[in-house]
Amino acid sequence: MAARRVWTAVGLTIASLWMIVLPARAAVAPIVSVPNVARTSPSRPPAGTVWAWGLNNAGQLGNGTTTALSGPVQVKGLSDVIVIGAGGGGGYAVRRNGTAWAWGVNNAGQLGNGTTTDSSVPVQVKGLTDITEITGRGFNGYALRRDGTAWAWGDNSYGQLGNGTTTASLIPVRVKALIGITAISSGYQVGYALRRDGTVWTWGHNDQGQLGNGSTTNSLLPVRVTGLTRVIAVAGGYLGAFALRQNGTVWGWGSEAPGDGTSNSLVPVKVIGLTGVTSITGHTPAASSRDGTVWAWGGNFYGQLGNGTAGTDRSLVPMRVNSLGRISRISDGPTALGRDGTVWAWGPEITALGVLGATAVPKQVPGLRDITVVAGGDYTRYALVGAG
């Protein structure tokens, strides 16, 4: 497996808080500017379809090509989709019949179809039924079944499959000792799960305290994150994670600016200044609040803070994102879903010149309406059209 994990940074050097990397074998394809997305998508995209835009060197857009696009294009062959997720180099979807689908980078088996061949169109993840949630990052994918069990596939160098071994798997295996799971998330070589009792469990890489249990020892099996109760959402990041509690507060751990004014913590600490939070994200740390505002913290090399600046001026505490209307949900990228079904994005993006650039203020993604779910990967973003 090591021979397949030769990675290199793309474009400018990434800020120290996290690193976004791509397979060295795949160059950034020329981008195609789409000034009028109405030519690419209908005025009202069909319900249950998935749309993608951004980097496409390994088929991340799922449209059968490897040409990057600045505007949304429909992911091929998917209908009746109810859930979407993003990996580091591809997308995931769950159809109404409970089957799971994946596309994009597959050098470590991230697609879960028994191969290590990239795919520019969705392929079915093997052996999964009754799936309610799906996600991924780095070299792994994770899925949640209706019966409350969690499943994982891909690389397993640090125990991120959670099955008590370090043996990789090209198809899903069950994460051991977990029942009653209601939500899952993925860090970089780390898995996270939220139990019905409001506790958070995690497994895999822990050199920066990603497991939140007070140690820096990897774990091949799920361990409980220290001190967290009444959690309603969890979001894995590159070197840490975040949890949203019932009282609307956010807690962070690891070395991804946990949000308390410090740069690292081995156990959860309260993110400063956030109340009434309704959604969180971890790879580009951000939160949306009940009043429709969005707050971001951490690295800002590519304008991830959304405050009009870009560079090395990271923030260890949340800052309000500018130029946004009322937002209902935040996702990685960063990508925001408006209460009116519109989509907004800022931070790292591929420019018209095919190089990595920065968007320091949120911009509305053209051609998308009636969106119910958004998901952001590394330079590629996804949107699901809901019924309406």
Q: pLDDT tens across 191-241, in order? A: 999 999 999 999 999 999 999 999 999 999 999 999 999 999 999 999 999
Asked whether the beta carbons of 222 and 272 are under 8 A apart, the reply is no
Q: How many residues does the chain have?
A: 388
Counting beta carbons within 10 angstroms of the beta carbon of residue 38, is it exposed (0 to 12), middle (13 to 18) or buried (19 or more)? exposed
- Taking 70 as the threshold, does the pLDDT of residue 31 lie above it? no
**Encoding tokens for residue 179?**
């029942």
Please, are residues 105 and 87 in contact by the beta-carbon 8 Å criterion? yes
* Most distant CA pair in the chain, distance: 53
C-beta atoms surrounding 224 within 10 Å: 14
Tokens of 101: 């689908």
User: Which one has a higher pLDDT value, 254 or 34?
Assistant: 254
Q: Give the residue extent of every domain in the chain.
A: 2-385
Q: Which residues contact 42 (CB under 8 A, 6 or more apart)?
A: none
Burial 76-95 (b: 16+ CB within 10 A, else e): eebeebbbbbbbbbbbbbbb
Q: Which of 333, 316, 319, 325 is nearest to 376 (CA)?
A: 333
CA distance 377 to 358: 16
What's the burial of 322, exposed, middle or buried (CB within 10 Å: 0-12/13-18/19+)?
middle
For the segment 244-292, what is each residue's pLDDT rounded down to a tens digit? 999 999 999 999 788 888 889 999 999 999 999 999 999 999 999 999 9
What pLDDT score does 35 carry? Answer: 37
Which pLDDT score, from 0 to 100, does residue 37 have? 40
Phi-psi region of 164 (alpha: psi -120 to 50; beta: other; left: phi over 0): left
User: Residue 182 belongs to what H/E stretch?
Assistant: strand 181-186
User: Tell me: the pLDDT tens digits for 74-131?
Assistant: 999 999 999 999 998 999 999 999 999 999 999 999 999 999 999 999 999 999 999 9
Tell whether the model's pLDDT for residue 24 goes beyond 50: no
Percentage, residues of the chain above pLDDT 90: 79
Query: What pTM did the predictor assign?
Result: 0.89
Rounded to whole angstroms, the Cα distance separating 34 from 32 reads 6
In sign, the C-alpha dihedral spanning 369, 372, 376, 380 is negative
Distance CA 234, CA 244 (A): 6
Cβ burial, residue 140 (10 Å; 0-12/13-18/19+) = buried
Model pLDDT, residue 327:
97
Residue 213 vs residue 27, higher pLDDT: 213
User: Per mean pLDDT, which range of 22-26, 191-195, 249-253, 347-351 is the poorest?
Assistant: 22-26
Question: Does residue 13 register a pLDDT over 50?
Answer: no
* Structural fold of domain 2-385: Methylamine Dehydrogenase; Chain H (2.130.10)
